[in-house]
Structure 1
């Protein structure tokens, strides 16, 4: 693999910080918005931003009438559902009951979900002994992360269910990554904009139906929503495309190791969150599994 260079290393660190901080900003946004509204607002801002960007660059949305046009739009719709609408909603709801650091650690599970999915759906990504061992190590971290109480009756306490929701979001991201890899070749910025527009079409009506038009939020919550829409939803996509083109997807996969670390740091230092004692143990196991499989695990896209 070619040397990625200092510029791509800087972009990788920046991506980790942007995505890691997003969980803290979701917690702040939830003070003024309901969970589905948070997801709908950030997706709408991201979709509008990406659409304006591709038009400014002279790039059009995928052509439906092209030979692979329908397949590309089908992939874009699946990406919109599994990479945006559904996981953003699960994370927003989950963070009403768990710390932002916990939600961030769950993102380290994404490549571990990718391993078995890729084995069955991507011909060039069969499970190997090394990947299998890394999966088992990481999966043990998942068990520690959610705790045995996640499988017990929760009654009025939604914390255990919220943990499962955060892990469900990680599974959604993994499915979205597989769909992205199987999508026919097309302009990546065009595909990203199409996926985000599909996500907006899916989530906005649901948010209005379930939660109505949001009341006027406080300034801090509104600022958090703007951050979520502009940086981790739109700007990060631009950086992601640049890193993939310059250094390849294997290099980009290392961002998954950074996200939980940044999310825990931001949540603990800026939100004064009290994290469960098993968090560091699970983080060590998950990152250990990821590092073992680093050579071939693809990144969240």
Structure 2
């Protein structure tokens, strides 16, 4: 029986399960956001999602013995410094950029922009995290995966028709860059208990987003409605729980491995939209899915073989 510690070259079966689960719940977030926006304006929705997500994580941390105070206990002021920086880069900045950008571009473009995360991570990981083993195979796989994501939009989707559209596209790509930079910094952060660390980043994000949302859109008016329940779902799973899982995966398996979720999210969001919202099925979806799966297979072939061997050894 193998007890290998997860590494970027051998993430292990449990990390594979975690990123597949993240793909599903992050994919469901697009559908949930479209429902919640029927009652809440975008900046308010972002602030509420992060605020309730921070509460969920803080409660989870106390139950699991990883309260937010463990940040200071394990890493001192540097731990809080990393929490603040990562909270701004992976919560505050991308949420605001996406909220602003989606005003001027289709939401599908925002989804495909998230597919640029692996492409942005590759050169950053090569410079700041060389132990993750960036090579030609992974580069080819990532390029194929991004080609599949671009195909989801169809012909002419990336054409710029106005200055506002251009800046909207740039804002979405900047949000993707924030997530990529955040992954690299998370990999280099002190070894802080993951739930406590994620709680700190969300708390910082909420502290920044709430004042901004109030200034921009006024005080929110909460009501017990289906849309409010959707906000609570967004807070509990795609925001709160997902933040903790993200830290666990990046710290154990690396930022390049974590970036595989970027391939899954557009697919799952399309599936949820078709099945639950009745959106039209696009023919190019199947070709895009094949390209994405091929890209993942090429970039992570060695990991797939090691995971299969690990599973067989446990039988």
Same fold judged by TM-score > 0.5? yes
2:13 aligned with 1:4, yes or no?
yes
Which structure 1 segments of 5+ residues have no match?
Answer: none
RMSD: 3.7
Aligned-partner Cα distance in 2 for 1:275–1:90:
29
Partners of 2:194 and 2:244 within 8 A in 1:
no
Q: In structure 1, what is the equivalent of residue 36 of structure 2? A: 29
Partners of 1:102 and 1:279 within 8 A in 2:
no
Instruction: Write the mapping of 1:221-260 to structure 2, written as runs, cut at 5 A.
Output: 221-240=227-246, 248=253, 254-260=260-266
2:177 aligned with 1:171, yes or no?
yes
Residues 256-265 or 175-184, more deviating: 256-265
Partners of 1:13 and 1:255 within 8 A in 2:
yes
Q: In structure 1, what is the equivalent of residue 313 of structure 2? A: none
Instruction: Write the mapping of 1:274-289 to structure 2, written as runs, cut at 5 A.
Output: 274=280, 284-289=290-295
2:162 aligned with 1:154, yes or no?
yes
Aligned-partner Cα distance in 2 for 1:130–1:215:
51
Q: In structure 2, what is the equivalent of residue 189 of structure 1? A: 195
The alpha-carbon distance between structure 1 residues 281 and 79, as it changes in their structure 2 partners (threshold 3 A), is farther
Aligned-partner Cα distance in 1 for 2:133–2:156:
31
Deviations 1:17-53 (A, max 9, x none): 2111011111111111111111111000011111122
Which structure 2 segments of 5+ residues have no match?
Answer: 1-9, 304-315
Q: In structure 2, what is the equivalent of residue 207 of structure 1? A: 213
How far the C-alpha of 1:89 sits from its partner, in A, is 2.9
The alpha-carbon distance between structure 1 residues 64 and 24, as it changes in their structure 2 partners (threshold 3 A), is closer
Residues 214-223 or 134-143, more deviating: 134-143
Q: In structure 1, what is the equivalent of residue 310 of structure 2? A: none
Aligned length: 292
How far the C-alpha of 1:57 sits from its partner, in A, is 3.4
Give the TM-score normalised by the residue count of structure 2. Answer: 0.75
